[in-house]
């Protein structure tokens, strides 16, 4: 046995000789690839290689008469990739989202979760609402540039505070001035990180219960 450094060129169907067996594997492989699509290339290829390795081991031990039957048996025993790979892809995707805070990955992971359980769909709904509110908050903070007198954190003489856009600026005084923009964006950024981290923890727990 020798240590193996992973390379994409290891994939393909070198382990199958029968035409029908190759076709069955190709179809199963394309289903796997569809499920793994949201993941980075290297992760996709590694998971695929491990499944291919599993199929090869299974084919070697199967006593069925044809190679096609052996591949079919192996695929059936593995199950539907759309079901068994769901927790794996979900966890990896949310890991990326929680660590990079990349909005496109977060959007991708939310889209991925729609196809999951009712609990996952509910989480997607709640998170989508929170992110939308956050987006509006950040936009409102930036509008201070256009409406400097009407947008901000305001204090009245009675000691009450108003936040956001106000039409009647009297008798309020602007507490932060233009500091409202960096401070507001900082708060938005922190909330964004907090929501993502909390959501990741919830997703991890949900997906953990669907394993095994």
Q: Which residues bind another protein (CB under 8 A)?
A: 1-6, 10, 15, 47, 49-54, 56-58, 60, 77-81, 83-88, 91, 95, 208, 211-212
By residue count, the chain amounts to 212
What is the smallest separation between the CB atom of 121 and another protein, expressed in angstroms? 20
What is the smallest separation between the CB atom of 32 and another protein, expressed in angstroms? 10
Cβ-based nearer residue to another protein, 84 or 163: 84
Cβ-based nearer residue to another protein, 80 or 149: 80
What are the φ and ψ backbone dihedral angles of 173, each rounded to 5 degrees? -120, 140
DSSP 161: E
What are the φ and ψ backbone dihedral angles of 197, each rounded to 5 degrees? -65, -45
What is the smallest separation between the CB atom of 104 and another protein, expressed in angstroms? 23
**Beta pairing partners, 165:** 151
What is the smallest separation between the CB atom of 109 and another protein, expressed in angstroms? 16
Q: What sign does the CA torsion over 130, 135, 140, 142 have?
A: positive
Cβ-based nearer residue to another protein, 46 or 130: 46
Cβ-based nearer residue to another protein, 35 or 137: 35
What is the spatial distance between Cα 54 and Cα 48, in angstroms, rounded to a whole number? 10
What is the spatial distance between Cα 5 and Cα 140, in angstroms, rounded to a whole number? 51
Q: What sign does the CA torsion over 124, 129, 131, 135 have?
A: positive
Cβ-based nearer residue to another protein, 109 or 188: 109
What is the smallest separation between the CB atom of 31 and another protein, expressed in angstroms? 11
């Amino acid at each position: 046995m020798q240590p193996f450094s992973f390379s994409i060129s290891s994939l393909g169907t070198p382990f199958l000789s029968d035409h029908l067996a190759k076709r069955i594997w190709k179809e199963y492989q394309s289903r796997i690839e569809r499920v793994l699509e949201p993941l980075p290339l290297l992760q996709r290829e590694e998971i695929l290689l491990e499944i291919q390795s599993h199929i090869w081991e299974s084919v070697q031990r199967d006593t069925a008469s044809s190679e096609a039957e052996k591949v079919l048996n192996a695929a059936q025993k593995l199950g539907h990739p759309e079901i068994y790979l769901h927790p794996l892809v979900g966890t990896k995707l949310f890991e990326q989202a929680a660590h990079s805070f990349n909005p496109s990955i977060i959007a991708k992971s939310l889209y991925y979760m729609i196809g999951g359980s009712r609990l996952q769909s509910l989480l997607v709904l709640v998170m989508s609402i929170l992110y939308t509110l956050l987006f509006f908050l950040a936009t409102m903070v930036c509008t201070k540039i256009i409406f400097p007198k009407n947008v901000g954190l305001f204090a009245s003489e009675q000691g009450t505070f108003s936040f956001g856009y106000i039409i009647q600026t009297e008798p309020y005084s602007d507490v932060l001035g233009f500091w409202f923009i960096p401070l507001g964006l900082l708060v938005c950024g922190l909330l964004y990180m907090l929501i993502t981290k909390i959501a990741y923890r919830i997703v991890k727990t949900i997906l953990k219960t669907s394993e095994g």
